[in-house]
Structure 1
Amino acid sequence: MLFRIGNLIKTRIFLDHCNFISLNCKKCYADVVTNKAGPLDGIRVLDLSRIIAGPFCTMILGDLGAEIIKIERPQIGDESRNWGPPFIKGTKESYYFLAVNRNKKSVCVDLKSPKGQKVIHDLAAKCDVLVENYVPGKLNEFNLDYDTIKHVAPKLIYCSITGYGSEGPYSKRPGYDVIAASVGGLMHITGPRGGEPCKVGVPMTDMATGLYAHGAIIAALFQRGRTGLGQKIDCDLLSTQVSCLINVAANNLNVGLEAERWGTSHSSIVPYESFPTSDGCYITIGAGSNQQFKELCEKLDLPHLVVDERFCNNEMRVKNRKILIETLRNRFKEKSLEEWCALLQDSSFPNGPINSISKVMADPHIKHINLIKEMEHPSGEKIRLVGPPVKFSDCRNEISLPPPCLGQHTSEVLKELLDYSDVEIQSLQNCGAIS
């Protein structure tokens, strides 16, 4: 009886998996059993996005095993291809583009052309997911909006990534990371104490939106496994940014606390910031409990701070922040960064150096976990990229394809996926619908 129940459970899991991936079920099941597949192997994504948020989302899906067909404008491509220097040697392919476009096939289609639109419809019917990041309403002009596409591909998950969503007074505005970070408050709380607002060094709002989108797509695929139907997903930069305010938003909504810029320090925990060392470098430390604070003072040979009533708990340390931080800063300036790192490396409280990017890439831990991957670009040049940060025990999450050259896979995809003949492809090229 137990054996039969076990077989029924395994059968149900297998059927659910087949329904989820919808393509190449037997092969995918065999690959999963032998640990050869990514968790999204068999899922095909039609990627109409460009710049960062959308491509970051589809890159993650590609790392997880999905097949990504990236649609680009003929002759021009994704705008970020030109965002250099630096460029790959002998090309006009920017490293900016390479950073978020691995594991993709590039297909050039003119979305303004009726024949190009027909190509997209044909591709949508063969795909599980479509991702786009046009201003709301723009794809209506090309017959590529959700209401049109869902009739062509009713099982398709259609994910729109926009600046402000599909409704509301800002909905027609184009979306940019730094603007969403401005309107959404991130820049208001980022920067030195008493100084000007600062943007984060990388487009965190774009990337957070891409992460939200990739999670939502996977959830919608599971939902499709139950209903057999696709649906539309709306992700936008502003909503993402506001959701990422977490405790800052909660403090304001519930007690009216207006946030400030704190530099590297923390509004609610002291000490929790970066300190300059004698060699002009910086070390960051945090002491969120009384025990950690006690240990920090012992490591710094400042035992008198532990028994000082002004610093007896975190509330008092926040209240007397200025004098405590001044004392700690003076102490940290007495040794070099290397000396402090050696002294504090076995501490229970969090601490670490502020590394340059070169030091990050050469860090022994980063090397040990093999996070940096090297591959050959289609141009023949060797390139290195930061690989997927998540590991699975029983499936793959890895780089399988280097970032593509513009239009590199156009003929291949149209032939192999859509069964277009050489004559049809040549005709589409002649009229400019593809390139």
Structure 2
Amino acid sequence: MFDQKRINDLPVHQAAPRSAAPALQGLLVADFTHFVAGPLATMTLADFGADVIKIEAPGRGDDFRHYPTVDPEIPAQGGAFLWSNRNKKSLTLDMKSEAGLAIAKDLIAQADVLVENFSSGVMERFGLDYGTCAQLNPRLIYCSVSAYGREGPYADRLGFDPIAQAESGFISMNGYADRQGVRTGAAVMDVATAMTAANAILLALIARQRDGKGQHIEVALLDTAVLMTGFGAMQHLTTGYEPQRNGNTSPDTCPSGVFMSQDKPFYINCGNDKIYQRLFEQVLDRADLANDPVLSQRANRLKNREYLFEVMNEAFSKQPWSHWAPRLRSANVPHGQVKTLGEALASDEVRSRDLVTRIPHPVKGWVPNIGTPIRMSRTPAVMPTAAPALGADTKTILHDVLRYDDSRVTELRAAGAFGSMPAGADEAVAETVTP
């Protein structure tokens, strides 16, 4: 059950002023995605004005609709689904029926972009592979998101975020040296893959402006995960070095890590010698260590990490975080309190960016919203709308986008395009939210 009191305490989302139409206004996107990486990519397009039509199977729809937290009043719009499907429309189609497939092809023929992240071979079985869709629409940008790519010996393998973290070497780099590596709690590979896919789509649209031609784009979780290992990959390729697990410390800078004040943990990152000197001279009042001819050199500090940490922990433990935070800020030392997720979302820093707000919902009244990180002065993100109920926009899409008349809609329903309908169901198809 959603905590409606908590939600109602959030500020109402305010529309950003704009001096031009949304950046992607007029762009039509056929969204065949589910779970995380695909939907987040298409949501980025929708945030900036694209008309994103999410095609879902009748009855259950995207399985991500049912991930916790789920509210019984809106059982197919759990918190996870609301997070990744803002500003979209939902069209329910039975893709196993000829009538449903015909509607999908009509939509693809008009679309600028198609995004899919099914298992390899699924779109081919539907007859919606890139080659077929390109014949329907030569200007189509067709983006495939997969685990290991659509070609090659591993194209048939299923893969999810933690598998990509494992197989890329990412897990081996994270955690503590005395135990197995750990995955991140957040689905970072899915999120990064979504960002990569959105970038790739925009690049393809720019290329199409030049020559009028569409193209096939591939974005794979594994490829993105290898990139996410950071410069450690190039360190290995140039020297054979295997990055080690260092917990919260850094193998490259010192002192960097988590420290404890009287009441709160916090992170300090001394990325260079000058930051180290400011930390010890202006924050800790240890000018002797700040200007020590040995410790003022980064490489030497790495060798003396235990000693420096001992000095810092002893000093920091004598005062609360409210004492240290302003001193660290005044000295321009990179720092941050180690917060729970709840503390972070309610923090002054997050609130100052208007990142967490509430937006209207037709059933709940209000639902939370986490804003896009992209800020544009002339063409900001559109005013957000909550993720749609399953099939909520079917009627509108059929009539306003595909220009079907009522007789055509009735014919398609009889042919099973929208799945099985209960006896006495409304003729208007749009009410197929729960067929």
Q: Provide TM-score, normalisation by structure 2.
A: 0.88
Match of 1:261 in 2: 245
Matched, 1:427 2:411: yes
Find the partner of 1:394 among 357, 378, 382. Answer: 378
> 1:38 touches 1:396 (CA, 8 Å); kept in 2?
yes
Find the partner of 1:292 among 248, 270, 275. Answer: 275
SS at match of 1:85: coil
Which runs of no fewer than 5 residues in structure 1 stay unpaired? 1-33
> 1:135 touches 1:162 (CA, 8 Å); kept in 2?
yes
Find the partner of 1:59 among 34, 40, 43. Answer: 43
Instruction: Map 1:361-400; keep pairs closer than 5 Å.
Output: 361-400=345-384
CA distance in 2, matches of 1:203, 1:399: 26
SS at match of 1:42: coil
> 2:116 touches 2:145 (CA, 8 Å); kept in 1?
yes
SS at match of 1:197: coil
> 2:277 touches 2:296 (CA, 8 Å); kept in 1?
no
Which runs of no fewer than 5 residues in structure 2 stay unpaired? 1-17, 419-431
Find the partner of 2:170 among 186, 191, 198. Answer: 186
CA distance in 1, matches of 2:326, 2:180: 35
Identity among equivalent positions (%) equals 33
CA distance in 1, matches of 2:284, 2:209: 58
SS at match of 1:99: helix
Report the alpha carbon displacement of residue 262 of structure 1 after superposing the two structures with TM. 1.4
Report the alpha carbon displacement of residue 398 of structure 1 after superposing the two structures with TM. 3.2
> 2:266 touches 2:337 (CA, 8 Å); kept in 1?
yes
Q: What letter corresponds to residue 290 of structure 1 in structure 2?
A: D
Matched, 1:158 2:142: yes
Q: For residues 372-402 of structure 1, what are the alpha-carbon distances to aligned partners after superposition, in whole Å with 9 as ceiling and x for unaligned?
A: 2321123243111111122111112134322
SS at match of 2:195: helix
CA distance in 2, matches of 1:86, 1:380: 12
SS at match of 1:116: helix
Q: For residues 15-71 of structure 1, what are the alpha-carbon distances to aligned partners after superposition, in whole Å with 9 as ceiling and x for unaligned?
A: xxxxxxxxxxxxxxxxxxx72421111111110001000000011111111110001
Whichever structure has more helix as a proportion of its residues is: 1
CA distance in 2, matches of 1:426, 1:332: 72
Match of 1:94 in 2: 78
CA distance in 2, matches of 1:170, 1:89: 42
CA distance in 1, matches of 2:253, 2:416: 60
Q: Quick one: structure 1 residues 195 and 282, their matched pair in 2 at CA, closer, same or farther if it must change by over 3 Å?
A: farther
CA distance in 1, matches of 2:123, 2:110: 19
Matched, 1:355 2:336: no
SS at match of 1:159: strand
Match of 1:215 in 2: 199
Structure 1, 96-105 or 338-347: larger mean CA deviation = 338-347
SS at match of 2:110: coil
Q: Provide TM-score, normalisation by structure 1.
A: 0.88
> 1:387 touches 1:399 (CA, 8 Å); kept in 2?
no
Report the alpha carbon displacement of residue 309 of structure 1 after superposing the two structures with TM. 4.6
Report the alpha carbon displacement of residue 114 of structure 1 after superposing the two structures with TM. 1.8
Structure 1, 372-381 or 265-274: larger mean CA deviation = 372-381
Q: What letter corresponds to residue 373 of structure 1 in structure 2?
A: T
Matched, 1:176 2:154: no
Find the partner of 2:130 among 116, 141, 146. Answer: 146
Q: Quick one: structure 1 residues 341 and 42, their matched pair in 2 at CA, closer, same or farther if it must change by over 3 Å?
A: same
CA distance in 2, matches of 1:60, 1:99: 12
Q: Quick one: structure 1 residues 171 and 80, their matched pair in 2 at CA, closer, same or farther if it must change by over 3 Å?
A: same
Report the alpha carbon displacement of residue 310 of structure 1 after superposing the two structures with TM. 4.2
Q: What letter corresponds to residue 376 of structure 2 in structure 1?
A: F
> 1:88 touches 1:95 (CA, 8 Å); kept in 2?
no
CA distance in 2, matches of 1:302, 1:238: 47
> 1:290 touches 1:314 (CA, 8 Å); kept in 2?
yes
CA distance in 2, matches of 1:190, 1:207: 18
> 2:359 touches 2:384 (CA, 8 Å); kept in 1?
no
Q: What letter corresponds to residue 223 of structure 1 in structure 2?
A: A
Say how many residue pairs are matched: 401
SS at match of 2:330: coil
The alignment yields a C-alpha RMSD, in angstroms, of 1.7
Q: What letter corresponds to residue 135 of structure 2 in structure 1?
A: H
Match of 1:407 in 2: 391
Q: Quick one: structure 1 residues 89 and 360, their matched pair in 2 at CA, closer, same or farther if it must change by over 3 Å?
A: farther
Instruction: Map 1:224-243; keep pairs closer than 5 Å.
Output: 224-243=208-227
> 1:378 touches 1:404 (CA, 8 Å); kept in 2?
no
> 2:23 touches 2:49 (CA, 8 Å); kept in 1?
yes
SS at match of 2:84: coil
CA distance in 2, matches of 1:429, 1:317: 72
Q: Quick one: structure 1 residues 89 and 272, their matched pair in 2 at CA, closer, same or farther if it must change by over 3 Å?
A: farther
CA distance in 1, matches of 2:394, 2:58: 10
Match of 1:103 in 2: 87
Higher RCO by CA contacts (8 Å cutoff, separation 6 or greater) = 2
CA distance in 2, matches of 1:46, 1:105: 10
Match of 1:19 in 2: none
Q: Quick one: structure 1 residues 312 and 370, their matched pair in 2 at CA, closer, same or farther if it must change by over 3 Å?
A: closer
Runs of 4+ in 1 over 6 A off after TM superposition: none
